[in-house]
Amino acid sequence: MTKWDKYLIFFIILSSIIGFSIVRSDIGKSDYKYIKIAVDGKVIKKITFDKNMIGKTIDIRTQYGYNKIEIGDGKVRVIDADCPDKLDVKQGWISKPGEIIVCLPHKLTIEIVGENEADDEIDGISY
Amino acid sequence: MNNIKKLIFLSLLVSLGLAISILESFIPLPFIAPGAKLGLANIVILSTLIIFGYKEALTVVILRSITFSLATGSVTSLFYSLTGSLLSLLAMYFVYRFLSKMFSVIGVSIIGAIFHNIGQISVASIMMENVKIFSYLPVMNLVSLFTGYFVGLSTLYTTKHLKKIFNL
């Protein structure tokens, strides 16, 4: 370990903390949020949070594989998948706008979007 | 060292890297960011870079990525591992070649781990067409500080003994 190694470690810790706080501040505090599910970059489903939706599960079957999503009270998680490592299942619940679950083998992203960053208006619940 | 000896040793290194990668995929780090790995194969690559040089390390990196995707059977993982390890090798080479007075092997290894993250996350965000995947980067970099330190330390001891064997 030279002193430059220590500088490097310090710099990386600092930049990670800065990056982390930027990510945090990017996460909006808007009340209105919805779930955006995309496969291979194309949005396939948008789901708004609703009391009727709590506890509901959604199957997503694509050419890449199968994922099962559970919706909770303002949060969402993946409960089952047939990808080899099941990292999306291990990640657990996400609830804040800007948070994202990624399933690399299936090219699937599940994202929570806040009102202010929505780029198009939603006409209704598509479920 | 004559050519045949070198060839045999390089192929041994490739198979060692492959075996380590497969073993490592059985022990994920479940508690932190998704996709976080120990990066033990970097011990092999960094040792090759130090003992032999850039060209040989490049060969080992490319062969290891191809054989690993053949072994696991997924084509998409080839892009991730190839881009990540090529970028990390490039960064490690430049730091080791030009800044080796400043950084020890541990620093080189940490830089390699960081650039491996950057490469993989870039590929992921291009493939998924979603820039938000970069929000994983700070967490992954923090994790790779520890794994990179460990890998660097291991490489330090490995190369010490390898240099003795080859009388370098």
ipTM of the shown complex: 0.73
Q: Which helix (H) or strand (E) holds A68?
A: strand A66-71
Out of A12, A38, A84, closest to residue B114 by CB: A12
Mutation site, A5, A23, A77, interface B, largest B CB count within 10 A? A5
Q: What is the mean pLDDT of chain B?
A: 86
pLDDT band at B153 (very low <50, low <70, confident <90, very high): very high
- Judged by a CB distance cut-off of 8 A, whether residue A5 touches chain B is yes
Token reading at B155: 């490489």
CA nearest neighbour of A35 among A62, A71, A64, A63: A71
Query: Across the beta sheet with A33-39, what order do the strands follow?
Result: A42-48, A33-39, A108-114, A100-103
Out of A19, A40, A91, closest to residue B34 by CB: A91
Range of the domain at B142: 3-166
Q: Could you report the per-residue pLDDT of B67-105, keeping only the tens digit for each?
A: 988 888 777 778 888 898 999 999 999 999 898 888 889
Out of B107, B129, B135, closest to residue A8 by CB: B107
Number of domains in chain B: 1
Token reading at B86: 């090529």
